[in-house]
Amino acid sequence: MEGGLDIFQILLESGIVVKLVLLILIACSILSWAIILQKRKAFRLISENNDKFFQYFQNSTNLIDIHEQVGQYPDSTLGTMFESGYQELRKIREKLHEAGKEKELRQYLDSNGIDALERSLKQGANVSSEKLENRLSTLASIGSITPFIGLFGTVWGIIDSFAGLASGGGSIEAVAPGIAEALVATAVGLAAAIPAVWGYNVYNSMVGKFNGQMENFGQDFLNLIERNVLISKE
């Protein structure tokens, strides 16, 4: 618009501090969007794999069959949990076999409880949960600090502009571009923060959903063990 402010020209003529602030904010924005898009793809695959694996798990009562098929769902957090529990059960069987007590699996689990299996399931869930939460703290940090970085650039730019005015740099119209460039820093800071906060809240909610699924699956796995081992006759 004629007579208006050319934002790009203003930024090109801005001070080194404001330029540095804007570069930091742009880098933070690029990083946050990269994380948002990566998490979107990863969580979609996890959700799809969980649904497919759990459907297979519900339709099967044979642990070995499930174990052989779990590799078909590499992104499933439930599959990771199953493998943790299955491998622990296999270790228990091998331990009893070496002691010549392979027929006593039911008694072993019944007398000792299933604490070892529960711990292995929790370990598998913790591993998956850590992967789910990976880089979410970066989104939270970007959402928290970028508005303040932008505000710093704004304050610095305004101080610089009025310092020029106080030293005889001209009328208020002369310092208007400096004030404009300073305010742009706040706008860019908010533009970087808003998607990061949104992404963190959305994906943190999804992590809670996945954790709930894993907690329920742990009980389903133990129920399957009870049906296959504790209740069955050997």
Predicted confidence at residue 1, as pLDDT, reads 44
Total number of domains constituting the chain: 1
- Whether residue 10 is contained in a domain is answered as no
Q: What is the mean pLDDT of residues 49-77?
A: 94
Is 189 in contact with 148 (CB distance < 8 Å)? yes
Residue 51 has pLDDT above 90, yes or no: yes
| pTM, 2 dp | 0.82
Q: For position 116, what pLDDT does the model report? A: 79
**Which pLDDT value is given to residue 114?**
74
- Residue in the structure block whose two tokens are 């970087």: 192
In a domain, 5, yes or no: no
Query: What range does the domain containing 206 cover?
Result: 15-230
Tell me which DSSP letter residue 168 carries. T
Q: What is the mean pLDDT of the chain?
A: 85
**Between 1 and 189, the higher pLDDT residue:** 189
Q: Which of 153, 152, 145, 198 is nearest to 33 (CA)?
A: 198
Q: What region does 170 belong to: left with phi over 0, alpha with psi -120 to 50, or beta?
A: left
Query: What pLDDT, on the 0 to 100 scale, is given for residue 234?
Result: 44
147 occurs within a structural domain: yes
When comparing pLDDT for 93 and 27, which is higher? 27
- Is residue 195 within 8 Å of 36, Cβ to Cβ? yes
Does residue 73 lie in a domain region? Answer: yes
pLDDT of residue 58: 93
pLDDT at residue number 105: 66
Residue 4: inside a domain:
no
The 8-class DSSP code of residue 114 comes to: T
| CA–CA gap between residue 149 and residue 193 (Å, rounded) | 10
What's the CA dihedral at 105, 90, 88, 101 to 10 degrees? 30
Any domain includes 50: yes
Residue 170 within a domain: yes
> Which pLDDT tens digit goes with each residue over 124-180?
999 999 999 999 999 999 999 999 999 998 888 888 777 766 655 556 665 666 677
pLDDT at 40 over 90: yes
Query: Residue 8 domain-assigned?
Result: no
